[in-house]
Structure 1
């Protein structure tokens, strides 16, 4: 159950980071009002807090989280930007998710 919980936490973390970066982009591209910076800042604060919930070494958490972020960003590309990921995008996401699994699930001495 712990790997599933970790993955879900990573996914929520990625969502918070994507929202926190997307909203300022909307404002910078003049596609959204300046007040979007407030929920963006809140979302980035939630992102940092979610990363802090993992009890293992921060470098390992960041490395494993990176793979989940890549996969979530490709989902964002499809759902928000309306661009369907290519088979190469999906293959790359699968590779980084396997790498994230190796980092998080490997035994430690």
Structure 2
């Protein structure tokens, strides 16, 4: 259950980060409204707060989060940007997910 909760929280965190960065991109590169910066700032604040909800040391949280971020960004690339993913994307996502699972599995283990 711990792993599922952690992964779900990481996914929500990644979405908050991506939205917080995507909205300024729309404003700067797609002639979007400057008002997009308001929800972007809120989304990035949410992202930072969500990272604090994990019980592990911050460096471990950031390292494990990176794996989930890679996968979430690739899903964003496919769904929002409508870019077809390659075999390299899928293999890279698998490697990132494996790394996240290894790091999170050791959160409760004693330090060596």
TM-score bracket for this pair, using the shorter chain length = over 0.9
Instruction: Tell me how many residue pairs correspond in the alignment.
Output: 109
CA distance in 2, matches of 1:45, 1:58: 17
Shift of 1:8: 0.1
Match of 2:27 in 1: 27
CA distance in 2, matches of 1:31, 1:60: 38
Structure 1 consecutive aligned stretches of length 4 or more whose deviation exceeds 2 Å: 106-109
Match of 1:10 in 2: 10
What is the root-mean-square deviation in Å for CA atoms of aligned residues? 0.8
Shift of 1:108: 2.7
CA distance in 2, matches of 1:80, 1:24: 15
CA distance in 1, matches of 2:110, 2:7: 19
What TM-score results when the alignment is normalised by the length of structure 1? 0.97
Match of 2:63 in 1: 63
| Residues 17-96 of structure 1 mapped to structure 2, 5 A cutoff | 17-96=17-96
Shift of 1:84: 1.4
What TM-score results when the alignment is normalised by the length of structure 2? 0.94
CA distance in 1, matches of 2:78, 2:104: 27
Shift of 1:9: 0.1
Match of 1:108 in 2: 110
Shift of 1:31: 3.3
CA distance in 2, matches of 1:60, 1:108: 14
Shift of 1:49: 0.5
Shift of 1:85: 1.0
**Unpaired segments ≥5 residues, structure 2:** none
